[in-house]
Chains A and B, each alone.
Chain A
Amino acid sequence: MSSIGTGYDLSASQFSPDGRVFQVEYAQKAVENSGTVVAIRGKDGIVFGVEKLVMSKLYEKGSNKRIFHIDRHIGMAVAGLLADARQIADIAREEAANYRSDFGGPIPSAVLADRVSMYMHAYTLYSFVRPFGCSVVLSSYDEDGPHMHVIEPSGVAYGYYGCAIGKGKQAAKTEIEKIKMKEMSMHELVNEVARIVYTIHDEVKDKAFELELSWVGKGTEGLHQFIPAEVQEEAEKLAKKSLEDSDSDEDM
């Protein structure tokens, strides 16, 4: 099935003859060109892992982060155009702040996911704007447990137990479906997420990458934090080791 929309893909306010909005589909393609984001919801927490592709040797470690803090208790990982994603982060932070001011408490992530998805959807309706070229994953932990939502450029938002967006999403999804995430603790998840990102990283096409890890859950008392350096080092060591092991298996 050809997905070239010639003539019907000029603006988000056009339907194609078979009822598709091509601008939104092209925005989703922009997401697929970016480094992978792997997110897993375990028993009592959620871990994000972002494969941040490094384009230049002069790159300074830790810059251009793709994981954002929204308020204190919500984390947002993004795939796609980083500039668009920064706009979404700003809007999410504004919504969270307004909620605090209106209702006196932290915004539940389902409510935030709803508001952000409506905002992103609004940009798919008019001809004078273009859809956002990024997908975002929101995570939080409260008395009801961990919550994770993924919002696509079309404005569609669903809750997930595990998700992968970006270049290696198919390979990552296969890996995620293998693990029994609902019983895993946050530390176990960190190692799994690091392992999956290292496994799906394509050494040939993309040379260097930096692994960004963050978590939110019971262990962090509901606060979203970047993973402490020692935990990250340990996870990356284990991930590299498991990659070598599987490579040597293949050689045999």
Chain B
Amino acid sequence: MSVGNSAGFDRHITIFSPEGRLYQVEYAFNACKQAGLTSVAVRGKDSAVVVIQKKVPDKLLDPSTVTNLFYITANIGCVMTGMSADSRYQVKRARSEAAFWKYRYGHEIPVDVLCRRIADISQVYTQSAGMRPLGCIMTLIGYDDKMGPMVFKTDPAGYFCGFRAVACGAKHLEGGNFLEKCFKKKKDYTFNETIELAIHCLSCILSADLRANELEVGIVTQENPKFRTLTEAEIDNHLASLAERD
């Protein structure tokens, strides 16, 4: 591999290094892991679920203001993994894009179209010198009346893809392996099985028994396609049935 000549800026702004890498984009991926949180999203037969840890680091914090789950429209929700402020910015942009689509075309934006739009915006940041990529990963879930439940993820590089299941954040590799093993054995999950798989995955890769107040769960289902977050009591029920299964 020849060592090309670079002016030394390839690590500082989003230009190519001699080996053809974008260092700033790679560093942005590291930023997504900085917060130390991991999220898991699973698509079942007729439902889609996102789960993320809830860490309230300061006793004086008001826990009701700490969240990583956001709704984009009534029917589309997302989990944001990575830098807090960048996440809120991207959520705001997504809400704005979804609202504009509704205004322009008269119907709700589909999940994959929204994801593509956010990914295209993220790509612009990887090609501008004056801006940095956002240090956050957005995993969108929604229930489409033609396509069924959908899970889409977009990252700082501007890449996006639909998934059957995906893990993002600090422990995404372990999460990915775990989910691959589960999906090899079984491909169709009912609503309860989907939630339990997501929670089980998270507790295994974190090697910890998670409690209801350390988790946030967001769901969309065929019966109720509106994005909603589960209450602590509902999460407790799922944890209980998970414990019984084991």
Contacts and interface: CB of A to CB of B under 8 A. Distances in A.
A155 B129 CA distance: 22
26 contacts: A8-B12, A13-B129, A13-B130, A14-B12, A14-B13, A15-B24, A15-B27, A15-B28, A15-B30, A19-B33, A21-B132, A114-B88, A117-B88, A118-B88, A124-B85, A125-B89, A125-B131, A125-B132, A126-B130, A148-B62, A154-B83, A154-B85, A158-B61, A160-B62, A173-B60, A177-B60
B31 interface: yes
Q: Report, as a range, how many residues of chain B touch the other chain.
A: 35 or more
For chain A, which range describes its interface: under 10, 10 to 19, 20 to 34, or 35 or more residues?
Answer: 35 or more
Contacts of A19: 27-34, 135
B30 A155 contact: no
Given A158-B65, A161-B62, A14 B24 contact: yes
Contacts of B31: 15, 19-21
Nearest to B133: A15
A236 to B, nearest CB: 24
A156 B84 contact: yes
Interface in A201-235: none
A118 B132 contact: no
Contact of A20 (B34, B66, B133): B34
Given A21-B31, A118-B92, A122-B89, 11 more contacts: A13-B129, A13-B130, A13-B132, A17-B11, A20-B34, A121-B86, A124-B85, A126-B130, A128-B130, A148-B62, A160-B58
Contacts of A117: 85, 88
Contacts, number: 101
Contact of B30 (A18, A127, A159): A18
B62 A159 contact: yes
A114 B67 CA distance: 14
Interface of B: 11-13, 23-24, 27-34, 58-62, 64-66, 83-86, 88-89, 92, 129-135
Query: A-side binding surface: helix, strand, loop or mixed?
Result: loop
Nearest to B82: A19
A163 interface: yes
Interface string A1-29: 00000011010111111111100000000
B85 A156 contact: yes
A66 interface: no
Interface string A35-53: 0000000000000000000
Contacts of A154: 83-85
Contacts of A177: 59-60
A173 B34 CA distance: 24
A52 B131 CA distance: 36
A173 B89 CA distance: 29
Contacts of A159: 61-62, 64-65
User: Lowest 3 CB-CB distances: which A-B pairs, in order?
Assistant: A19-B30, A19-B31, A155-B85
Nearest to A120: B85
Nearest to A39: B60
A167 interface: no
Interface string A159-183: 1111100000000010011000000
A149 interface: yes
Residue of B29, B58, B85, B133 most packed against chain A (CB within 10 A): B85
Contacts of A162: 60
Contact of B60 (A14, A17, A157, A176): A176
A158 B59 CA distance: 12
A13 to B, nearest CB: 4
A124 B131 CA distance: 9
